[in-house]
Structure 1
């Protein structure tokens, strides 16, 4: 029946077309058909760009970054606000109408903070394909540091992924993967977290730190250094350099002295500090010298009274 209808349409003589129609309507129609064909092809390839509500998109099940560079992110966000999102992110459908980001989490974050939809390509992906796409895209575009790649590889291995998958995702050979895993398995996690991405620190320097911290005493010293005020006042590669220098020298991190406790009475102020087995007291008043001498003279009696009170 449908075939006959089409035949009737084809057999019907068409009205003579004007040059305008050929130049205008036909050209427009051809463009529309071409666009539909291209869209169909892109849909088959999973490359149709759609606009999605950022609230419907979850983070990837495995993170490949330690932290975002906030300066770089601010620049990206400003560019998207001014000129729009030039490159779509990649997501895959999960369940309940939600999606999971495969790559482009910074563009997703920018869209979320700007309160606008995010341009995305939606593609059906299995877990391994997700890992490969995320790893290869971010290795090529996201400037992941050595230690971020190493930690990403460690996470994938802990999730049960094969080394073949990890090597493909991060474009590694057997030797480099082995070295990466050795670094993150030797350096304590708190130290790795405290140093952060350290984008300018390469494999050789991380392996140097690994060899240092393979010794328990050096690892214990590193645990102290990363809590020091000097270390915490630095960023990225400077933290790494400071830690290496401290561990090599064997110097323990300078501890910040405890804040003194204070007491005040009429016309007098006192500050006292407890530190281990020592106790210090300082007085401020017009007659502080005389009062201090009085206290010193009474120390014997005061200490005896203290011991009796403590023995009760």
Structure 2
């Protein structure tokens, strides 16, 4: 048996379907059918992204060829965009700018839609379809009020997410958190881990990290931050780690992201502000302030330190001062929480 070619993942093979590569694959398959000789021992299949599933190399190639045939299926249709729904497994967050989308609409308006989108028949709604990939072209056609060219495929949920992965592998521009959300949504829909790994071309440890972040950070918080294309795995994991350890951290993040001025900033900036919000302030050094009467006489002192405030009042004033603080405390707390936005 010949060795697995170059350690390429199944999606890497999906991502480039040129004829020379197809011929090379066929040649490799023919070589596999030759009987092995003592001088050519059987090569081990590497434990890579898909190898971790313990399926044989021939099974992987069979699955790849089957899905490739589905994606490359010929014949297109023109469909009313109103009859099409988005993929049940969204893999995109809104862009910070609509400039690229507006340019796409202008191009389609002037030159027509060159490349069909891929859709499948809706599994439960008769006469409707779901996008496999090509969401932006579908949206553009909808905005322009024209029919969208589409290839209709027969795909199960698992095949749909792998087909989306084919497109994503070709583009390679999903941000890390978009990949995490894609994995989480597939998890929620009961997609097998094997197929999630195939759709994202990742291994088990990376899948565990994607899952961990989305299980810690609520979806509404992630969506409020946005794509954050310059923010990679380490900082998202760091944010999730602090939130998991500090119960108050998530509240600080939500408060930061509720500011309209923050929401108008690019998503990378929104992430930085969210990360800054979860960092605990440095411990305040211990300090003392003298309590003086209107005449300037020192009658006590108040000591401030991290998480601690202590009053010490002279015996002449202590009983009356204690009663005064007790009476004034409810109004003082109300003023404090109003200032903190919790009133």
Under a length normalisation based on structure 1, what TM-score does the superposition of the two structures give? 0.62
Misfit runs of 4+, over 3 Å: 42-45, 275-278
Q: 2:79 aligns with which of 52, 58, 63?
A: 52
Contact in 1 for aligned 2:79/2:150 (Cα 8 Å): yes
What does residue range 58-77 of structure 1 map to in structure 2 within 5 Å? 58-68=85-95, 69-77=97-105
- Aligned-partner Cα distance in 2 for 1:207–1:46: 40
C-alpha RMSD of the superposition:
2.6
Q: Rate the CA distance shift 1:119–1:229 in 2: closer, same or farther, 3 A.
A: closer
Structure 1 residue 249 displacement after superposition: 5.1
With over 3 angstroms needed to count, the CA separation of the structure-2 counterparts of 1:241 and 1:171, relative to structure 1, is: same
1:116 is aligned to 146
How far the C-alpha of 1:158 sits from its partner, in A, is 1.2
More helix by share: 1
**Residue 216, structure 1, aligned to residue 247, structure 2:** yes
Q: Is the 8 A contact 2:249 2:277 kept in 1?
A: no
- Structure-1 residue corresponding to 2:217: 187
Q: In the aligned structure 1, how far is the partner of 2:220 from the partner of 2:85?
A: 27
Output one character per residue of 1:97-123: Cα deviation in whole Å (capped at 9) or x when no partner: 322211101100101111112111111
Task: Quote the Cα distance in structure 2 between the aligned partners of 1:121 and 1:229.
Answer: 41
Which consecutive unaligned segments of at least 5 residues does structure 2 have?
1-68, 283-332, 337-343
Measured against aligned partners, the alpha-carbon deviations of 1:218-272 in whole angstroms (never above 9, x if no partner) come to 2232222222344234220010112212322539xxxxxxxxxxxxxxxxxxxxx
Pairwise CA distance, 1:141: 2.1
> Any gaps of 5 or more consecutive residues in structure 1?
1-41, 252-274, 279-312
Of the two structures, which has the highest relative contact order with CA contacts closer than 8 Å and spacing of 6 or more?
2
CA deviation after TM superposition for structure 1 residue 79, in Å:
1.5
Q: Indicate the residue corresponding to 1:308 in structure 2.
A: none
Bigger radius of gyration: 1
1:129 positional shift: 1.0
CA distance in 2, matches of 1:45, 1:202: 32
Distance 1:223 1:250, change over 3 A: farther
Q: Count how many residue pairs are aligned between Structure 1 and Structure 2.
A: 214
Partner deviation per Cα, 1:107-153 (whole Å, 9 max, x = no partner): 00101111112111111112211121123213432621111110110
Q: Deviations over 1:196-236 (max 9, x none)?
A: 11122111111121222222122232222222344234220
Q: Does 1:164 align with 2:198?
A: no
Contact 2:71 2:153 in 1 (8 A): no
Residue 174 of structure 2 corresponds to which residue in structure 1?
A: 144
Q: Confirm whether residue 175 of structure 1 aligns to residue 202 of structure 2.
A: no
Report Cα offsets for 1:47-96 as digits up to 9, x if no partner.
21222221222222221112245222112111111222121100112353
Which of 124, 129, 137 in structure 1 is aligned with 2:159?
129
- The alpha carbon displacement at 1:155 in A equals 0.9
2:120–2:153 Cα contact (<8 Å) kept: yes
Please state whether the residue corresponding to 1:120 is helix, strand or coil: strand
Over 3 Å counting, the alpha-carbon distance change for 1:117 and 1:228 in structure 2 is closer
| In the alignment, structure 1 residue 242 sits paired with structure 2 residue 273 | yes
